């Protein structure tokens, strides 16, 4: 029997894995405050000040938090590192659990009401995309194709005329005139691409994945290696 999610748990959630940075405070599943920032620059300059701002707006203190949830990509190598390092630091200093959530999972769970195959697309820039697939139905939602980096031209060919729903940065795929009707596949489904709140909700539902002791261990979804590493190996 599924236990109800704790309605009073105070959660700090944030995502710095893409230009769509966001920070959210939740009480249980309920979003209480949120900051969104679309920037091509690193989010390190604004992350801590955004957290302080939201706490102040709700008259919460840092020590009131019960869980820190962070997006672990896929996305920007630097952005993911900033998010994980900040989450680890806060969780360790407060002695509270830490949860890592894939942005792909967060998007998939936004559309878990669908029935069928779901393709998640995120812009990886440089004419590439991060792509994953999920299956949704009465039994819930599950991953069927892990996140991978793929050239957009190859992704367009892979998706052409497939009977699936597309979520995310679908505009980077030029698949003709995709329309939201039963006569056209794949079908585009709108979703909120600022992921902090969904990362917090998904973390709340995955209590078994919380980490309470070894804060030095994390599983970021870099997928694309950093430029410095590629230059060194070249």
Higher pLDDT, 37 or 182: 37
CATH class of 10-103+194-233: alpha beta
Whether 10-103+194-233 shares its CATH topology with 112-188 is answered: yes
Q: For the chain, which residues make up each domain, given as ranges?
A: 10-103+194-233, 112-188
Lowest mean pLDDT among 14-23, 42-51, 66-75, 220-229: 220-229
CATH number of 112-188: 3.30.420.200
pLDDT of residue 222: 65
Cα 64 to Cα 12, 18, 59, 127, 165: the distances in Å are 10, 28, 10, 43, 40
Cis peptide preceding 7, ω within 30 of 0: no
Strands 140-151 vs 128-137: parallel, antiparallel or unpaired: antiparallel
- For position 206, what pLDDT does the model report? 95
Q: Over the stretch 81-119, which tens digit does the pLDDT of each residue have? A: 999 999 999 999 999 999 999 999 999 999 999 999 999
CA dist 216 and 141 (Å) reads 30
Express each pLDDT in 20-65 by its tens digit.
999 999 999 999 999 999 876 767 789 999 999 999 999 999 999 9
pLDDT of the residue at 228 = 42
Does residue 226 register a pLDDT over 60?
no
Q: What percent of the chain has pLDDT over 90?
A: 72
Q: What is the pLDDT of residue 233?
A: 46
The mean-pLDDT minimum among 162-166, 191-195, 225-229 falls in 225-229
Q: What is the DSSP string of 101-168?
A: E-HHHHHHHHTTTS-EEEEEEEEEETTEEEEEEEEEETTEEEEEEEEEEEEHHHHHHHHTT-S-EEEE
């Amino acid at each position: 029997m599924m236990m109800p999610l704790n309605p009073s748990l105070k959660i700090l959630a944030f995502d710095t894995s893409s230009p769509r940075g966001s920070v959210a405070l939740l009480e249980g599943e309920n979003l209480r405050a949120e900051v969104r920032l679309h920037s091509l620059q690193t989010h390190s300059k604004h992350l801590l000040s955004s957290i302080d701002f939201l706490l102040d707006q709700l008259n919460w203190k840092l020590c009131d938090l019960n869980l820190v949830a962070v997006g672990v990509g896929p996305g920007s190598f630097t952005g993911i590192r900033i998010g994980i390092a900040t989450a680890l630091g806060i969780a360790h200093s407060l002695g509270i659990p830490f949860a890592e959530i894939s942005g792909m999972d967060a998007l998939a769970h936004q559309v878990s009401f669908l029935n069928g195959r779901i393709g998640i697309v995120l812009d990886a820039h440089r004419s590439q995309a991060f792509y994953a697939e999920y299956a949704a139905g009465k039994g819930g939602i599950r991953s069927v194709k892990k996140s991978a980096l793929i050239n957009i031209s190859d992704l367009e060919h892979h998706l052409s005329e497939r009977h699936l729903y597309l979520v995310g940065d679908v505009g980077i795929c030029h698949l003709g005139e995709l329309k939201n009707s039963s006569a056209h596949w794949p079908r585009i489904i709108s979703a909120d691409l600022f992921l902090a709140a969904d990362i917090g909700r998904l973390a709340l539902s995955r209590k078994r994945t919380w980490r309470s002791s070894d804060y030095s261990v994390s599983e970021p979804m870099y997928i694309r290696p950093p430029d410095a590493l590629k230059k060194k190996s070249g």
